[in-house]
Chain A
């Protein structure tokens, strides 16, 4: 095994098709268009039982009794389990193990699992679960995150208090800084749902060795495994996970859902157990985006230079910690945005309440803060009488700038250029028709467009890529080169979760570029190889891409040794072993005739450090990524309806590894930002979700999402493999404030809460 962090940039040779920089077809594309790709919900075995979950109807209650006898009487029921049946640790969590596998004496959110049941089929299981009698003594739920943080008279809902993390940032001299122009406002972000289309599913199969095999749609196989094994009281090697087809993720699969439940039932009954949530249960079965309350005060000089930013950011993590600690770290460290500010004071808090648990969703922490600071930048520009693009460009970070954490941006950050490119993007034609279908609200419209106003807005976002704050972030890849029917074939094995983004395509591209063989097989991701880390934080191209590249380099070195050469001199291309100095040395097929060459590599990014708990100083981030959006909207100011006419994005990605996949990420991330701006919110009242369905929780349709224009820049990051920059999250940050800014431009309203609802436009 080699362990290396390579930053070299040898000239790449593209003698085979489908290498780095190209857009080969997805290896899973044929299966997906044929309907043959096996999603987790498509798996079953003939003797499999069906597992269901009994969930709490109350946001907060004491459990005074559980009677399972009625359920056990139903023919076809094989097991009913409660917390007493959890053989190992009774709690789990990504960062802080505070969440019970099944509720113990108390429930802390509506929908918390209390019992699980396995029966022969879904109908019997659902009927039986209704026969479990749980006695509750309802308690007053704590549902106000600010109260949870600031009101010390509120009794804690966990023994260790309600504040998961408080992270201050102090930069310059914010206490004494004064400015000629000041804007202050409060902002709110609603609770967004990842709304992946394929609900949580998995199949657990008990094994002869007393362990269990789990086929699961997840983002992070190994951390699932370590949590599951601890709860089952099994050594990790007896818990084996294989990635099943994933129907979207966006952060919602980073935490456990039914993993431990299915394994418990399978081990208890000795039968395979399948679990599959419906959409309503899915809304209760995974963490959401943290709602946020933010107070921002910005000061600037009259000529448009930022002087200070003071902010308080409160993020509601709901009942359990999940990833709240990291969400707070992002909101705090990136809370001033991608701007040079001499004096910064930010206090970010993550609270536990009796609201639905919140955790990872695309761009976490950075998304919420971005709405706050970008709204402020527009308000300041207006007060200063400056163009919002020019004002941003005047204050934009660039390579060499300091973040408020004291970290120097040590790779390209061409924000001013990106802003000017976004502003220079050709404008779409003015609306030429009063055709109802073209108006906000479409054919459901009840006006003839008399009150339709057009607005243009810009938004900028900055996101940290990979895991920050000292996390030991790594990925593992095994690459094998061998002869199959006389031809060299490469096989790649990682535990990296393909969730739709195209990582399986990219792995093949890297192997083709590095080893010069066209035939590449990607083995299914499972836990029989080392961890690849999470498919989150826009990190897999960087991290698992880096690991595959490192493993290829090790394979190439081994081949070089076999032909008696030193590795730096040897390239593999077009099935030949080629020396830079003497030309073709051998046919790769001849070298491999004596046996396969296989190497495993572990790739780590450069180290980071935690933020100082009192000052928020420290080089906490690996890499930073920027995106700029321009939004053009039509608003019917009488009806409060918004139609986004066009979205343009400018993003720096360091290096385009696969243009089609990249564009797909920008399109999709932009659409989720549109949803947060205009329609997506889990409505929570007194701790209860009021809209757990796609009838009432709206996500953008093909009519809501307008055509896009993209401009992609490639300023290489010298620290990253191939110079690439993670790309999945940044567009989700900046599209939201751009759209809100455009609606403000059209209406003249302050609009300090997202999503914007029609009544926010009509009732002011």
Chain B
């Protein structure tokens, strides 16, 4: 049995109950004993070292911690790790292989959809949830889909451009 507490070095008082959870993260099944209060965002960042999931507000407003939960975009700072038991989670690290970029990643990189980059993983995962459901969105649909994710640097113009670019690329890929 692997214990996440060893990895995150947070000693647990002996009277704190733990729950065993089994979560498929980026395609790989991970099992651990966690405190019921542990947030999914903290499990991902500290327990699994997936620091591409950022925490920016702690109150589910900013969306920097957005991940895919069974394919839907959710804010991992307001979900408990135990709620993810038996489910599939995709983080930014799971968007593409180690030396590859997903078209959404290409879009944000090439269309200048990022500056400081802190919101970027969450933005890309919210965009992926949209494009999985609606491969050919309008600009309005992109804006509505990303309206739960804050960016303080870009004024959002190039984020919209990046997502539309990615939609086109994905469509031309699936056409060929």
A residues apposed to B, CB below 8 Å: 23, 25-26, 28-30, 32-39, 41-42, 46, 76, 120-124, 194-199, 245-250, 278-280, 437, 499-502, 660-661, 663-664, 666-672, 693-695, 699, 701-703, 705, 707-708
Name A278's closest neighbour in chain B (CB-CB). Answer: B58
Question: Once A and B bind, how many residue pairs between them come within 8 Å at the CB atom?
Answer: 183
Q: Give min CB distance, A680 to chain B, whole Å.
A: 11
Report whether A661 and B112 are in contact in the complex, using a CB–CB cutoff of 8 Å: yes
Which residue in chain B gives the minimum CB-CB distance to A505?
B112
Closest approach, in angstroms, between the C-beta of A656 and any C-beta of chain B?
14
Contacts A195-B152, A247-B54, A660-B112 given; does A702 touch B159 at CB 8 Å: yes
Q: Which partner residue on chain B sits nearest A195 by CB separation? A: B152
- Contact residues in B for A249 (Cβ distance below 8 Å): 116
B57 in contact with A501 (CB, 8 Å): no
Residue in chain A with minimal CB distance to B8: A121
Question: Contacts A76-B11, A702-B159, A703-B147 hold; do A198 and B154 have CB atoms under 8 A apart?
Answer: no
Known contacts: A247-B54, A703-B144. The answer to whether A196 contacts B116 by CB under 8 A is: yes
B48 → A minimal CB distance (Å) = 12
Q: Is the CB of A703 within 8 A of B143?
A: yes
Residue of B nearest to A647 (CB): B155
Shortest Cβ gap from A677 to chain B (Å): 14
B-chain residues with CB within 8 Å of residue A25 when the two chains form the complex: 109-110
| Interface magnitude class on chain B | 35 or more
B109 pairs with A694, CB closer than 8 A: no
- A197-B114 contact in complex given A35-B53, A42-B51, A705-B156, C-beta closer than 8 Å: no
Chain B interface, DSSP helix/strand/loop, else mixed: loop
In the bound complex, what is the Cα–Cα distance between A29 and B152 (angstroms)?
A: 17
Shortest distance from the beta carbon of A80 to any chain B beta carbon, whole Å? 19
Q: Across the interface, which residues of B come within 8 angstroms of A36, CB to CB? A: 52, 93
Is B25 in contact with chain A by the CB < 8 A criterion?
A: no
Q: Are A667 and B157 in contact, with the CB atoms below 8 A? A: yes
By secondary structure, the A interface counts as loop
B151 touches A197 (CB 8 A): yes
Asked whether A23 lies within 8 Å of B112 as measured between CB atoms, the reply is yes
- Do residues A33 and B144 form an inter-chain contact, with CB atoms below 8 A? no
Q: Which residues of B contact A664 (CB under 8 A)?
A: 112, 115, 153-155, 157-158
User: Are A29 and B158 in touch, CB under 8 angstroms?
Assistant: no
- Cross-interface CB contact of A33 among B59, B64, B109, B159, cutoff 8 Å: B109
- Which residues of chain A have C-beta atoms less than 8 A from B143's C-beta? 702-703
Asked if B9 contacts A120 (CB within 8 A), the reply is yes
With A502-B115, A667-B155 known to touch, is A199 a contact of B56 (CB < 8 Å)?
Answer: yes
Contact A705 B112 (CB under 8 A): no
Closest to A703 in B: B147
Residues 134-176 of chain B, each 1 if its beta carbon lies under 8 Å from chain A, else 0: 0000011001101111111111111110000000000000000
Chain B minimum-CB-distance residue to A710: B157
- Chain A proximity of B82: nearest CB distance (Å): 17
Contact B160 A702 (CB under 8 A): yes
Closest residue to B149 on the A side, CB-wise? A702
Task: Say whether A501 contacts B62, CB under 8 Å.
Answer: no
Residues of B near A28 (CB, < 8 A) are 117
Contacts of A667 in B (CB 8 A): 154-158
B141 to chain A minimum Cβ distance, whole angstroms, is 11
Write the chain B residue with the least CB distance to A672: B152
Q: Is the CB of A39 within 8 A of B112?
A: no
A248 and B118: CB pair below 8 A? yes
**Distance to closest chain B CB from A126 (angstroms):** 12
A197-B56 contact, Cβ under 8 Å, with A23-B112, A667-B158, A693-B61: yes
Q: Which residue of A lies closest to B12 (CB)?
A: A123
Pair A701/B147 contact, Cβ less than 8 Å: yes
B92 CB-CB contact with A under 8 Å: yes
Of chain B, the residue at the smallest CB distance from A707 is: B157
Q: Which residue of B lies closest to A693 (CB)?
A: B59
Give chain A nearest CB distance to B45 CB in angstroms.
8
User: Could you tell me the distance between the alpha carbons of A437 and B116 in the complex, rounded to whole angstroms?
Assistant: 30
- 6 shortest A-B CB distances, which residue pairs? A35-B52, A500-B116, A667-B155, A32-B117, A35-B92, A500-B115
With both beta carbons as reference points, the residue of chain B lying nearest to A694 in the complex is identified as B61
Is B124 at the interface (CB under 8 A from chain A)? yes
Return chain B residues, CB-CB under 8 Å to A663: 112, 157-158
CB neighbours of B53 from chain A (8 A): 35
Interface flags, B102-128, vs A, CB<8A=1, else 0: 000110111010111111110010000
